[in-house]
Structure 1
Amino acid sequence: MKAIFDDRQWAHDPKSFMENGQALPNPEQPKRIEVLSAGAKAAGCDFHAPPDHGIGPIAAIHSPEYLTFLSTIHTRWSRMKGASDEVIPNIHPDRRTASYPRSAAGQAGFHQADTACPIAAGTWEAAYWSAQTALGGVDAILAGARAVYSLCRPPGHHAFGDLAGGFCFLNNAAIAAEALLKAGRRPAILDIDVHHGNGTQGIFYGRRDVLTVSMHADPIRFYPFFWGHADERGEGEGLGYNLNLPMPRGTTDAEYLEVLKSALGRIEMFGADVVVVALGLDGHENDPFQGFKITTPGFARIAQAIAEMGLPSIIVQEGGYLSDDLGANLTSFLTGYQPK
């Protein structure tokens, strides 16, 4: 399988993370690249660097106001007296229609949903090339590949059109789907990260031209909490084009595969001719977030079921955090993904 990655994605090296009121090391470490690339190579992947498609395909998803913020905020933040090394919000508006502040601190609160998306000097460069990596996957599919793996890091599925969150800055899966749509394809996004793809849902919630399906731990007691419930079906023209399949904590391989049938059936009824798989490996039984109990062989079974749809697939990396099993989980998934 062809794989895409750009070395500039190493530049994002977040330090800050807060969980249950405690300051902890950030789980979205650059070392994930090393482990994931080794796992992909063990599955026979051949890595290539993506071309630079420019800002246009990114701006098709994210507002110019937000992109201006991401590309300039660290420099502006650093000018403040006593500023931290990373941009971390300490205030948030009570509504998205609130006035837009001029201050760096105010804009951080407006554009960063939580404290899990600190912005440092290399964040914009890494996020930009993570998005280009997803677009490199689009190139491969349009050139005739049946499956391609895009090692996107930082991940993207918690990023809305103008809002970062949950380790994510640019929504790589959404950018890829929009590029496929503009190329005349009919894309569906299947998000199998243990966390709901709330940013992806938000981007397409009022649209009917991209189907969004997310399988995840029930957000009633799990991040992102406020999105991902089964009654969120889309709105306006998008009503019925968003499917959430929340599952209990501790979901096993067999239970997951049974729910996956519903996800794949919805994609079939949408008439998709290409699928963007937002691949989270954080559902594994030994992942630090402890959401599901998926085994390493279970990822191969999940991949096989998706591949049996027979649709060209861009596999976009989302979560999956450092553990002894992370690389093997990716190897299992990519080895199991045998497109028709």
Structure 2
Amino acid sequence: MKTIFSPLHAGHSDTLELVAGELVPGFEKPSRAEFIKARVESERLGPILPPEAHDLSAAKRVHAADYIDFLPTVWSAWEAAGHSGPALPFVWPTRGLRGDVRPHATEARLGFYSFDGGAPFVQGTWDAIKSSYDVALTAAALVNNGERAAFALCRPPGHHAGSAFMGGYCYINNAAVAAQWFRDQGAARVSILDVDYHHGNGTQEIFYARGDVQVLNLHCDPLTEYPFFLGHADERGQDAGEGFNHNYPMPAGTTWERWSAALDDACARITDYGPDAVIVSLGVDTFEKDPISEFKLKSSDYPLIGRRIAGLSLPTLFVMEGGYAVEEIGINTVGVLTGFEGG
């Protein structure tokens, strides 16, 4: 399996995020991608290739154009306003406030285009965002051109980014971009299977009223876990998308037995849907030692995930999402991929 990777991700470093009233060092750090890359190499999964450059037209197929145009301007505008630390929002247009008028101040625009304080900018952030997007599209092209599967080692991740908002370490929704790109290349239907511990709220929001992209999320119950305000089982899609959105919220402490039953059900729904391609939003923060998550999957479980996905017998794009600050992120991510290869 070919892996697409860009070293430009490393410019997005030394960030801060707002968590429960504290500014803390960002859990989404460069070592995540480097652990995975090292494991790809040590396991000889396949060649690691650089991404090809793409313009932003594919991003604007799933994101609002003004939102995408804003992202490259953040750091220079932040510095021009006299700020020196990581750029973060501090005010949001919640219920009762105007959300239809874009403010001029960069500090306010950060809040206008976000839903939390977990998507910081430093000097190298835009280059990392753009390279992550390029990684996803380059890997998608491999699958579209006949590869059985490819791995987009994206950093930063993307599944919390919605049509016009960032959050949860995510800026451009790489899986959503790839799904739309497959559609634009002629795929009649695409399925996105999100196995991250946290609900892919951005992916759901983007495709919620569409029937041509099926979205399935296995995640911790939003009643108790981030992102809190989306991901319930009764969210089934609307209008043309009715019945094509499937959520599998599970309680903290979930082990392989319950989690794998949800995976089996999701895979059965994919088979019934009959897509031309599957995109896996590959988060491995379901791991029992992950520092910000509370599922109890073990390293030995991850090859089984890959094997089950391989059983779909569909062209498959793996897009990296979450998994934090532990060396096992490489073991578990590549475990999924080697399990798929052997499935």
**TM tier relative to shorter chain:** over 0.9
Q: 1:179 aligns to what SS in structure 2?
A: helix
Amino acid at match of 2:9: Q
Amino acid at match of 1:17: E
User: Which TM-score applies when normalising by structure 1?
Assistant: 0.96
Give the CA RMSD over aligned residues: 1.4
1:180-225 C-alpha deviation (Å, 9 max, x unpaired): 0111112100000000000000011111110000000111000000
| 1:227 alignment partner in structure 2 | 230
1:117-174 C-alpha deviation (Å, 9 max, x unpaired): 1111111111111011010111101111001111000000000111000000000000
Amino acid at match of 2:65: P
Q: 1:24 aligns to what SS in structure 2?
A: strand
| 2:102 alignment partner in structure 1 | 100
| 1:286 alignment partner in structure 2 | 289
Q: 2:150 aligns to what SS in structure 1?
A: strand
1:46-80 C-alpha deviation (Å, 9 max, x unpaired): 11112112111111112121012111021112122
Aligned pair partner of 2:220 in 217, 220, 239: 217
1:5-57 C-alpha deviation (Å, 9 max, x unpaired): 12222221142122222222110001112101012223323111121121111
Deviation at 1:87, TM superposition (A): 1.3
Cα gap change, 1:78 to 1:110, in 2 (>3 Å): same
| 1:174 alignment partner in structure 2 | 176
Give, in whole Å, the separation in 1 of the partners of 2:32 and 2:211: 35
Give, in whole Å, the separation in 1 of the partners of 2:196 and 2:268: 19
| 1:30 alignment partner in structure 2 | 30
Give, in whole Å, the separation in 1 of the partners of 2:80 and 2:167: 23
Aligned pair partner of 1:140 in 120, 138, 142: 142
Q: What does residue range 46-57 of structure 1 map to in structure 2 within 5 Å?
A: 46-57=47-58
- Asked whether the 8 Å contact 1:157–1:197 carries over to 2, the reply is yes
Q: Does residue 150 of structure 1 match 2:152?
A: yes
Amino acid at match of 2:85: D
- Asked whether the 8 Å contact 1:40–1:334 carries over to 2, the reply is no
Give, in whole Å, the separation in 2 of the partners of 1:14 and 1:157: 22
Amino acid at match of 2:337: L
Q: 1:121 aligns to what SS in structure 2?
A: coil
Deviation at 1:326, TM superposition (A): 1.6
Runs of 4+ in 1 over 6 A off after TM superposition: none
| 1:317 alignment partner in structure 2 | 320
- Asked whether the 8 Å contact 2:154–2:320 carries over to 1, the reply is yes
| 2:263 alignment partner in structure 1 | 260
Deviation at 1:84, TM superposition (A): 3.9
- Asked whether the 8 Å contact 2:15–2:121 carries over to 1, the reply is no
Amino acid at match of 1:71: P
Q: 1:298 aligns to what SS in structure 2?
A: helix
Give, in whole Å, the separation in 1 of the partners of 2:297 and 2:222: 18
Q: What does residue range 1-340 of structure 1 map to in structure 2 within 5 Å?
A: 1-43=1-43, 44-81=45-82, 83-95=83-95, 97-185=99-187, 186-338=189-341
- Asked whether the 8 Å contact 1:146–1:339 carries over to 2, the reply is no
Q: Number of matched residues?
A: 339
Give, in whole Å, the separation in 2 of the partners of 1:22 and 1:201: 29
Moved more, 54-63 or 174-183: 54-63
- Asked whether the 8 Å contact 1:42–1:331 carries over to 2, the reply is no
- Asked whether the 8 Å contact 2:155–2:320 carries over to 1, the reply is yes
1:91-131 C-alpha deviation (Å, 9 max, x unpaired): 10025743211111111110121111111111111111101
- Asked whether the 8 Å contact 2:62–2:163 carries over to 1, the reply is yes
Give, in whole Å, the separation in 2 of the partners of 1:157 and 1:308: 24
Deviation at 1:237, TM superposition (A): 1.1
Amino acid at match of 1:160: G
